[in-house]
Amino acid sequence: MAVQEQTVPVARAKARTAKGTSERKENRVGLYIAVAVVVFIALAPFYWTVITSIKNSVELNSSPPTIIPHSFEPGNYSSALTSVSPAFAKDLLNSTIVAICTTVLALIFGSLSAYAIARLKFRGKAFVLAVVLSVNMFPLIALVGPLFVLFTNPAFRIYNTYAALIIPDLVIALPLTTWFLTSFFRDLPADLEEAARVDGASRLRTLWEVIVPLTAPGVFAAAILSFIAAWNDFLFGLTLTANSDAQPVTVAIPLFNGEHQIAYGEIAAAAVIVTIPLVIMVLIFQRRIVSGLTAGAVKG
């Protein structure tokens, strides 16, 4: 055994010198080029949208399209925000309210279920998990028909209200939060609640001073994922709302395309307005988002 342990570092040292420093430099350069290409492809469309949004109509009409803009037209943004058809600013508000409400509900229901599944023993646990996961296979388009019929029923009159969006968005957000939080709670130390309770703290104090700080990162990540999922919705907004009373901003975006003269600057400005908050969220919460996305897959 001792002989084997000795040969590994020796072999590695040999490999290092055999490769030579120039070959390693070549590998590094190739790596950096590949990385640059990937980053370029990821960000180029966003760059294109931003410069389209600041060009004035003269430059937009010229061909071929310019890669470095030489005009600056902030009017595109004010046009987009004050647009009446679609009522872009109102739709932004609608999206925000719906996404927040959906997230709050998905977090409450999801964390309760996740706690039960992850920390308590009960019969039927596998069944509950199976139900939550299987919702993932339902095509949303199959749900909109009956939901449309249900919501337009005069007994409920939910059509074209915030509830008409929050309720279906939960189909997307609730399995997401439940699944993620279950995985997260499973990883918390098992004797946590025991230890705090033995020390004499009441159940409520245990919750507040011990459990909440430990679960906060997970709940936060679940909140971000849920918010993005609800904000992303297009189909429910398209079919279950009729106008800017409750219409989300995702529905407004294609509506800019209609009409006579297509105002590309305005469309681009609208797209930028919708995506800037998301870009900021990604920049700040990058690590949490990644941990949220990968939680299920790695731990299984």
> What is the total count of residues that contact other proteins (CB under 8 A)?
100
Taking the C-alpha atoms of residue 100 and residue 103, their distance in angstroms, rounded to an integer, is 5
Output the CA torsion 54→59→65→67 (10° steps): -50
Taking the C-alpha atoms of residue 9 and residue 4, their distance in angstroms, rounded to an integer, is 10
Could you say whether residue 211 binds other proteins (CB under 8 A)?
no
| Options 90, 160, 271, 288; binder of other proteins; rule CB under 8 A | 271
Could you say whether residue 43 binds other proteins (CB under 8 A)?
yes
| Options 89, 188, 192, 235; binder of other proteins; rule CB under 8 A | 235
Could you say whether residue 231 binds other proteins (CB under 8 A)?
yes
| Options 32, 72, 156, 208; binder of other proteins; rule CB under 8 A | 32
Taking the C-alpha atoms of residue 174 and residue 252, their distance in angstroms, rounded to an integer, is 25
**Shortest Å, Cβ 187 to other proteins:** 14
Could you say whether residue 243 binds other proteins (CB under 8 A)?
no
- Contact between 80 and 88 (Cβ < 8 Å): yes
Secondary structure of residue 143 in the 3-state scheme: helix
| Options 13, 29, 31, 190; binder of other proteins; rule CB under 8 A | 31
**Shortest Å, Cβ 183 to other proteins:** 12
- Contact between 60 and 71 (Cβ < 8 Å): no
Could you say whether residue 213 binds other proteins (CB under 8 A)?
no
Taking the C-alpha atoms of residue 50 and residue 127, their distance in angstroms, rounded to an integer, is 48
| Options 97, 116, 192, 201; binder of other proteins; rule CB under 8 A | 116
Taking the C-alpha atoms of residue 36 and residue 254, their distance in angstroms, rounded to an integer, is 32
Could you say whether residue 190 binds other proteins (CB under 8 A)?
no
Burial label, 210 (beta-carbon count in 10 A; 0-12, 13-18, 19+): middle
46-105: which residues touch other proteins (CB under 8 A)? 46, 48-49, 52, 60-61, 63-65, 67
Could you say whether residue 112 binds other proteins (CB under 8 A)?
yes
**Shortest Å, Cβ 134 to other proteins:** 8
**Shortest Å, Cβ 136 to other proteins:** 7
| Options 83, 250, 269, 288; binder of other proteins; rule CB under 8 A | 250
- Which of these, 288, 253, 264, 293, lies nearest to 91 by C-alpha position? 253
**Shortest Å, Cβ 8 to other proteins:** 6
Token pair 């039960």: residue: 116
**Shortest Å, Cβ 217 to other proteins:** 16
Token representation of residue 291:
């941990």
**Shortest Å, Cβ 29 to other proteins:** 12
**Shortest Å, Cβ 291 to other proteins:** 9
140-179: which residues touch other proteins (CB under 8 A)? 140-150, 167-168, 170-171, 174-175, 178
Could you say whether residue 212 binds other proteins (CB under 8 A)?
no
Taking the C-alpha atoms of residue 161 and residue 151, their distance in angstroms, rounded to an integer, is 10
Q: Which element (helix H / strand E) includes 124? A: none
Cβ contacts of 27 within 8 Å, gap of 6 or more: none
